Chain A
Amino acid sequence: MEQQMILRVKDLQTAYYVGKRRVNAVNGVSFELKRGETLGIVGESGCGKSATAHSILQLLPKNGRIEGGKVEYFPKEGEPVCLSECKRTGRKMREMRGGEISMIFQDPLSSLNPVYTIGDQIIEMLRAHEKISKKQAAVRAAQLLDKLGIPDAEKRLRDYPHQFSGGMKQRVMIAIAMICNPSLLIADEPTTALDVTIQAQILELMQQIQQEYGTSIMLITHNMGIVAEICDSVAVMYMGRVVEYGSLKQVFTNPKHPYTVALMQSVPVLGMGKDKRLVSIEGATPDGSTVFKGCPFADRCTKAGPHCFDHPPVETEPEPGHRVSCHLYTEGGAAE
């Protein structure tokens, strides 16, 4: 293996319990992330992309449970850590969170505590993981904010979240996530709440961080465009399953799964003709508690055959590193 692996998720299963209903949010998800690379996880709302991220750090709500599979983290030095076997509130898990793996969330407005200054919140994070004096911590925080493009960083440490704009708050969130120099950054829809020009700033910033610190990034988004711009590999998720997985080039130039194909053709692209019709996926995403006998995408798929409704698809690898879960690529699949 030429490149070191940093995270390996194997057959992860996570379920939420709502009353008596069981919702399989994550249903056998597997992927790997190499050190210094960016993995994009794309899918529509309810496809389990956020649940996957939360499972990795065991940040699931009380009614959520990891029911199977393995999440392995490979630190720079030392033994691999099996995150899925750590206790949810155990010491090991807390050390991992923020120290080795940190996370930034979609909504920068509600992710910051309004009654503490920005400086307090960054410093607290740093002091939770490192033995360092408050003064030193403040210096490091100011340095980082400055690097992240916040002018007057030293003064702004004393400001409260409401004194920052949306884009600036997301920068602060990134600062909190990056202050302990984690090896892996999980970004859950980091730019969805922001304007396009601000989104461009934040994406640029994340790429810059990656180059400088060699951080691996797991980017969760619904926007294929963002994936194409900054990711190295892609996992397309639908109904808690990874339906297609591969390098950016493989997935974007040679998409195999009908869902991936439709997803890419359903968004208008700048400069495309007005007369060109968008490919729409009929129907709506099924309810999370639905149990599928066959392929979960079958009833919205234009290429589905009778086989697709009765048998769950098996993952195949049409080219090295490019995996698809679709009967079109198994022998005697949908063609029957």
Chain B
Amino acid sequence: MIDELLIAQSLIKYYRTGTGWSEKKARPVKAVDGVSFTLYRGETLGIVGESGCGKTTLGKCIVRLLDPDEGKLWFNRDGETCNILMLNKKDGFDMRRRIQMVFQDPYGSLNPRLNILGAFDEQLRIHGFGDRAKRREIVAQALERVNLQPDYMYRYPHEFSGGQRQRICIARALAMSPELIVCDEPVSALDVSVQAQILNLMKDLQKELGLSYIFIAHDLSVVQYMSDRIAVMYLGKIVETASADELYERKLHPYTQALLSAVPVPVYGAKKERIILKGDVPSPLAPPNGCRFHPRCAHCREICRQVEPELREIGTTGHRVACHLYDGKNE
């Protein structure tokens, strides 16, 4: 049975730049500019894109570290759907427990002055997870779940390696018995051999606990391995979304094609046709008119410079792409 856990509806988040009196004059950075997606319960939605595409901002909006300027986030809360951006204080607080986040930097993610128990304790206490003994038990269980010894809870962050710290961060999220974990580049700061440990662990936990993930990363091969569905972002917008297999087999958007071809494959003789994009990602301060990708696109036509393409369904598999190349094709 598939049911929706989280639906984002045209989320918008602009950053105002500049300070003081110039605040009103400054142009906003359009970090997230009308993003919509659906996440099903027990599945992983991968969000992939290069730096500056707004994927981290999007993640922070979902855990409400940032408040989106516009848009709706529908969350299936015990069978009833609610917009988590409009909840009252008490329900909003409860949502913070249900949606957890794991960050990129395992070194900055733990307070160096608190031991592991201390790092977990306050959030458990304020969310009403019981008395001290009970909370300690929860921490021990969470640590065991990520294959760490329970008595590590009395140690301090500096005693752990990067991989262990990331496990602890995952345990900190798990301790809250969440339904959704937003992972922002959870393995990109780790060594290759340790990355595999964390990815395997995350997959196991998903199977055991029925968790849903939003997996944000720049590394397409990791995202493709972890996700059921993938959304490709470019300059604040989703340019293509499809199931992971579909996206690999039938990539439609020229940007997705370039991104896929740019990933180096560790196989001998796999030298394939690389699509080299011209130039850099434009500044999100002044995104190009029309299709945001057109200055770097090899298939750019007149219409691309003027009209911004909409994300439209191609075929019946839930494959959606925002590109004029597919205008009028099997809608």
Residues of A within 8 A of B (CB): 44-45, 165-168, 195-201, 203-204, 222-229, 248-249, 252-253, 262-264, 266-272, 274, 277-282, 284-285
Given contacts A228-B270, A270-B220, contact A44 B262 (CB under 8 A): no
Q: How many whole Å from A185's CB to the nearest CB in chain B? A: 19
- Which residue of the partner chain A has the closest CB to B281? A195
Nearest-Cβ distance from residue B164 to partner chain A, whole angstroms: 7
Question: DSSP majority for the B interface?
Answer: helix
- Contact: B266 with A227, CB < 8 Å? yes
Q: B170 → chain A, closest Cβ, in Å? A: 15
> Contact partner of B192 among A44, A167, A252, A271, CB < 8 A?
A44
Q: Are B244 and A274 in contact (CB under 8 A)?
A: yes
Assess whether A197 is in contact with B277, with CB atoms less than 8 Å apart: yes
Given A195-B51, A274-B244; A228-B267 close (CB under 8 Å): yes
Query: With A and B bound together, what is the CA distance between A224 and B248 in angstroms?
Result: 21
Q: Does B286 count as interface, using CB distance less than 8 angstroms? A: no
Asked if A200 and B276 make an inter-chain contact with CB atoms under 8 angstroms apart, the answer reads yes
Q: Which residues of B contact A271 (CB under 8 A)?
A: 224, 248
Contacts of A229 in B (CB 8 A): 264-265, 271
Given contacts A228-B264, A270-B248, are A200 and B193 in contact (CB under 8 A)? no
Annotate B240-251 by CB proximity to A: 1 below 8 A, 0 otherwise: 000010001000
Could you say which of B162, B197, B203, B261 has the most chain A C-beta atoms within 10 Å of its C-beta? B197
Contact call B268/A267, Cβ cutoff below 8 A: no
B153 within 8 A of A: no
Q: A268-B221, A271-B224, A271-B248 are in contact. Are A280 and B259 (CB under 8 A)?
A: no
Q: Quick check: is B26 within 8 A (CB to CB) of the other chain?
A: no
Say whether B267 contacts A269, CB under 8 Å: yes
* Contacting residue for A196 out of B192, B220, B244, B248, CB 8 A: B220
A197 touches B50 (CB 8 A): yes
A268/B267 in contact, CB under 8 A = no
Given A226-B264, A228-B268, do A266 and B248 touch, yes or no (CB 8 Å)? no
Q: Could you say which of A225, A227, A267 has the most chain B C-beta atoms within 10 Å of its C-beta? A: A267
A-B contact pairs, 21 of them (CB 8 A): A165-B280, A196-B218, A196-B219, A196-B262, A197-B262, A197-B277, A199-B262, A224-B192, A224-B266, A248-B268, A249-B268, A263-B192, A267-B192, A267-B196, A268-B221, A268-B222, A269-B265, A270-B224, A272-B225, A280-B193, A280-B197
The yes or no answer to B258 lying at the interface (CB within 8 A) is yes
A274 to B229, CA, bound (A): 12
The minimal Cβ–Cβ distance linking A261 to chain B, given in whole angstroms, is: 11
Complex Cα gap A274–B221 (Å):
11
**Contact call A44/B193, Cβ cutoff below 8 A:** yes
CA distance A264 to B192 in the complex (A): 9
Q: How far is the CB of B106 from chain A (nearest CB, A)?
A: 12
Query: Do residues B192 and A222 form an inter-chain contact, with CB atoms below 8 A?
Result: yes
A225 touches B266 (CB 8 A): yes
**Chain B residues with CB under 8 A of A222:** 191-192
Question: Taking beta carbons and an 8 Å cutoff, which residues of B are in contact with A?
Answer: 50-51, 161-164, 191-197, 199-200, 203, 218-222, 224-226, 228, 244, 248, 258-271, 274, 276-277, 280-281
Smallest CB separation, A50 vs chain B (Å) = 14
B195 adjacent to A266 (CB under 8 Å): yes
Task: Flag if A279 contacts B267 (CB, 8 Å).
Answer: no
State which of A168, A199, A281 has its C-beta within 8 Å of the C-beta of B193: A281
Q: Please tell me if the beta carbons of A284 and B194 are within 8 angstroms of each other in the complex.
A: yes
| A270/B218 contact (C-beta < 8 A), A229-B271, A284-B161 known | no
Residues of chain B within 8 A of A279, CB atoms compared: 196
With a cutoff of 8 Å between Cβ atoms, the chain B residues found around residue A282 in the complex are 197
- Give the distance in Å from the alpha carbon of A229 to the alpha carbon of B283 in the complex: 30
Residues of B within 8 A of A285 (CB): 161, 191, 193
Q: Which residues of B contact A248 (CB under 8 A)?
A: 268
Q: Which residues of B contact A224 (CB under 8 A)?
A: 192, 266
In the assembled complex, which residues on chain A have CB atoms less than 8 Å from the CB atom of B267? 228, 252, 269
Chain A residues positioned under 8 Å from B271 (CB to CB): 229
Collect the chain A residues with CB atoms within 8 Å of residue B194's CB: 280-281, 284
Residues of B with C-beta under 8 A to A269? 221, 265-267
Residues of chain B within 8 A of A45, CB atoms compared? 191
Chain A residues whose C-beta falls within 8 Å of the C-beta of B193 in the assembled complex = 44, 262-263, 266, 280-281, 285
Known: A44-B191, A200-B262, A201-B276. A195 touches B218 (CB 8 A): yes
Residue pair B262, A268 in contact (C-beta under 8 Å): no
How far does the alpha carbon of A71 sit from the alpha carbon of B224 in the complex, in Å? 43
Is the pair B265, A270 in contact by a Cβ cutoff of 8 Å?
yes
B240 CB to nearest chain A CB (Å): 15
**Docked complex Cα distance between A118 and B281 (Å):** 21
